A and B are shown apart, each in its own frame.
Chain A
Amino acid sequence: MQNKTNSDVRWMGMPALAVGLIVIVAIALFGWQFLLAESELAVLGMVALAAMAGVTLGKTGLQASMSAAMRGHARSMNIAILLALVSVIFLLGQEHFPLLMLTTTLLYMTVAFGLNVQFGLTGMVNFAGASFFGVGAYTAAVLTNHGAVPPLLILVAGGVLSALIGCLLIVPVVRTAGHYSAVVTIAFSVMFKTFLEVNDVLGGPQGLMVGPMKTFGWDFNSSPVFLGLEMSFYVNYALLGAGLAALAFMFVQRLERSWIGLTLDSVRLDETASACFGLNVVRAKVLAFTFGNVLVGVAGALYGMMISFIAPNSFSFSDSLLMVAIVLLGGMGSLWGTALAAVIVVILPEKLQIIQEYRFLLFSVVVILVLLFRPEGLIPRKVRSYFPNWRPE
């Protein structure tokens, strides 16, 4: 593996960091325009363009340069990406709908990071992602409607509750492996939605209203004013969503690079062998499952507050499938791949509204093609490098 920081990888004579920054700016501008694009011509053109750019990226050595930048200048690159994201949020400023899309994407990204710990790293499939997302959202609904819990605590509560409900499944999930554990979560997913529908306590099929996010006297549902311009109130949520996604990214990346991550990897690759080497398989699985659910629950709580109305239908088995699709499409265990896939899975069907009833058909065909031609996912996870100085200084 390329274990050294290859600062010698150059693309058109530019150092890796410069290339990396240019690409980030280009992607940010592209994303900004894509979120605004409305006519079918523009959307389809931009999708084709992105696909072409993706292919050429690999061909021209730009990709190598890019990954060198990511490896060699991780901190600057991450900061640049976060800055680019924040600038896009402000550029969108007054556009409610694109901001809503963007925030939804960021929250789905957070969810997918959580699921990634579960099956990307540990190999435990979770087909109940939407259910835990729902636990978070319903927690937010109940807490904002009754009682005066500080909203930031509500996010935490969403995560904790989701982890607690996950505990109900711990025994069957830990004891089973592979497809057998899939069925536990599938059964839970169907059960969760049906239960919410037939039980009136949580609003039944009619759903519940969720109160807005309020922090330090700042009402998230009022429009912030920036540089004299009145912004969409979604700017608040988009910023918080970006923060959440960044935090989740950081946590998961740290986890992956730690000894815990190494344990999780080894449990995924061979449970029996890991146990033989003295690794506590049960503890690793419980940890991964719970950690993932916490992230999903927190994202769910914020989603509930943003969307301000939730119903059981929003948390069905097919929504869980969408979340699983994000992780697989991106590449198991690959965080950047997951992020890219979240963008595609959330935004593409929405942008395809122009072809109305045909869009699900097209979407499923696109995913099939991607899986056929890139079975390892869009951005496959790199093989772990075991050299002592593999981490950037």
Chain B
Amino acid sequence: MDIGLFGQYLANGVMLGTMYALVAVGFTLFFGVLDVIKFSHGDVLMLGSFTGFTVYIGLLSLGIENPWVMIAAILIVSIVTTAMLGAVIARYLVLPLKSAPPLNILLITLMLGTAIREAVRLFYPDGSNPKAFPALLPTASVDLGGFSLRADSVILVAAGVAVIIGLNLVINRTRLGLAIRAVAQDEETAKIMGINYTMIVLVTFAIGSGAAAFAGIMNGLYYNEVNFGMGLLLGLIGFCAAIIGGLGNIYGAILGGFLFAALQTIGAVALPFASAYKDVFAFGVVIALMAWKPTGLIAERSSDRV
């Protein structure tokens, strides 16, 4: 394989990995604070990208055409909206079920995901068809043999990595992060130490959902297309990535995201069978990995109290 082609695959893989990692980070955050899986995550992501698309249409009708202003507005509005939605989901669907079997939360968020997806399809104007998300980033490209790298891809990956690093800093370096980690470690003790438990849970859900919205916008800007079904598989893959990395660990989520992207790319190009088998391959490896490392590659540090 020539080096240019290899570079191209690598670039594609990194792009995919960044997106998966962003989704996986959300799963890991929710799991960390509440030990729950919020399955509507992928659909929240889709809603984020649709909100962004709506803002774009709105700005166009207002006559604003500067791409940077647009991107800023799209990001702010959709992240804020989605973050609020995340908090609302936590407050009204997740927290009330805290004492019920944990699977119930999985099911209720799953159904919420379906509801969001169906609502967008039915009530968003012409929602059942794919929408052309604008290409707002510069598209200049560098061509080196078989390798073409576009400026927008580079910007997107950089921004995605920046968001992940930023999230990591928030969790590990700020007072808010300290509170989140405290709640994640021991809810009771955290409450006794004067941490506003409900508030922290809501904020964590808001942050995770905001990250999903960012991933949604990123997805839109990269593929220049959004559709109501985009969240389903992304959510599933993000969940798998968070798990193979090890739940409750941000590095695990990042590792899982990039690993899954790598598996898909390898499955499509480097294996002897047809490229359609790439998902069979990727998910097969996931199963094998789980047999080998039952609590993920970066295992949760926990001990059973007997």
Contact = CB atoms under 8 A, between A and B. Distances in A.
Direct contact of A and B (CB under 8 A): yes
Interface of A: 119, 125, 169, 171-172, 175-184, 186-188, 190-191, 194-195, 197-198, 271-273, 276, 317, 321, 324-325, 328-329, 332, 357-358, 360-361, 363-365, 367-368, 371-372, 375-376
Contacts of B110: 321, 325
Interface string B83-111: 00000000001001101111110111011
Contacts, number: 134
Contacts of A271: 304
Contact of B283 (A176, A187, A198, A364): A187
Interface of B: 31, 37, 93, 96-97, 99-104, 106-108, 110-112, 114-115, 118-119, 122, 236, 239-240, 243-244, 247, 274, 276-277, 279-280, 283-284, 286-288, 290-291, 294-296, 304, 306
Nearest to B276: A198
Q: Closest 9 CB pairs between A and B?
A: A375-B100, A172-B291, A361-B118, A175-B294, A187-B283, A183-B243, A198-B276, A191-B283, A364-B114
Nearest to A366: B111
A187 B286 contact: yes
A361 B287 contact: no
Contacts of B122: 357-358, 361
14 contacts: A169-B287, A172-B290, A179-B243, A183-B240, A184-B290, A187-B290, A191-B279, A191-B280, A194-B276, A198-B277, A198-B280, A367-B107, A368-B112, A375-B99
Nearest to B31: A179
B111 A364 contact: yes
A375 B103 CA distance: 10
B104 to A, nearest CB: 6
Given A180-B294, A367-B107, A360 B96 contact: no
Contact of B291 (A171, A276, A332, A368): A171
Contacts of B103: 119, 125, 324, 328, 332
Nearest to B291: A172
A176 B97 contact: no
B97 to A, nearest CB: 5
A375 B97 contact: yes
Contacts of B286: 183-184, 187
Contacts of A186: 236, 239-240
A321 B232 CA distance: 13
